[in-house]
Amino acid sequence: MQIHLIAVGNKMPDWVLQGYNEYAKRMPRECELVLKEIAPDKRRSGDIARITKEEGERMLTAVPPRAHVVTLDIPGKPWTTADLSKALQRWLGNGQPVALMVGGPEGLSQQVRDIAQESWSLSPLTFPHPLVRVIVAEQIYRAWSLMNNHPYHR
């Protein structure tokens, strides 16, 4: 199974790539974490609704067929590490790819929210989008560690 982290934004600082890659490479082959970057639109025009909609359309084209879609969104459900580990176990059991959707600065488009089977809130705080990639990768690895009684979680 693959977990696709589909995130708006590209040209990330080196520390983001290093942090994300550190956790992604620790994942076993049967639970591979794959980053799919979606190029953001320029925000000079000020038409935020159009920009968010177009970014959402590009995000949707990156979703693998039959994927279980999970948005990362402030109004989503807050999960503990144990909750995420249970979700990961459920996702693995379903045998479908998983698409974790991270929007741009203005969030996710309505069409992305509409196709999601679940919505996960990392925190009621707003995080910088580059940092979200590292947090999600670490938390997925931590959840996998907990599920497999690996010492990392302790």
CA distance 42 to 30: 37
**124 assigned binding-site residue:** yes
Query: How much is the average pLDDT of 71-94?
Result: 96
Is residue 154 in some structural domain?
no
Question: Does 128 reside within a domain?
Answer: yes
How buried is 18 (Cβ within 10 angstroms: 0-12 exposed, 13-18 middle, 19+ buried)?
exposed
Per-residue pLDDT at 122: 95
Asked whether residue 153 is assigned to any structural domain, the reply reads no
- Residue 123 annotated as part of some ligand binding site: yes
HSE of 58, CA atoms in CB hemisphere, 13 A = 18
Q: Per-residue confidence at 150, pLDDT binned at 50, 70, 90?
A: confident
Confidence at residue 37, expressed as pLDDT on a 0 to 100 scale: 97
What's the token pair of residue 91? 């996702």
**Is 122 annotated for ligand binding?**
yes
Query: Does the residue 80 lie in any domain?
Result: yes
pLDDT digit string, tens, across residues 86-136: 999 999 999 999 999 999 988 999 999 999 999 999 999 888 989 999 999
Both tokens assigned to 27: 């994942």
Q: What is the pLDDT of residues 14-41, one digit of tens each?
A: 999 999 999 999 999 989 999 999 999 8
pLDDT, one tens digit per residue, over 35-45 is 999 999 887 76
pLDDT surpasses 90 at 76:
yes
In the chain, the percentage of residues whose pLDDT exceeds 90 is 82
| Residue 67 in domain | yes
126 is in an annotated binding site: yes
| CATH number of the domain encompassing residue 88 | 3.40.1280.10
Alpha helices in the chain (DSSP H): 14-24, 48-62, 81-94, 110-115, 129-147
Ligand-binding site membership of 61 (annotated):
no
pLDDT for the residue 153: 59
Q: What is the mean pLDDT of residues 148-152?
A: 84
> Is residue 45 part of an annotated ligand binding site?
no
The domain of 65 spans: 2-40+49-148
Q: Has residue 116 been placed in a domain?
A: yes
Count of domains forming the chain: 1
Which phi and psi angles does 126 have, rounded to 5°?
Answer: -100, 125
Task: Give the per-residue pLDDT at 42.
Answer: 83
Query: 105: annotated binding-site residue?
Result: no
Nearest to 4 by CA among 126, 98, 112, 123: 98
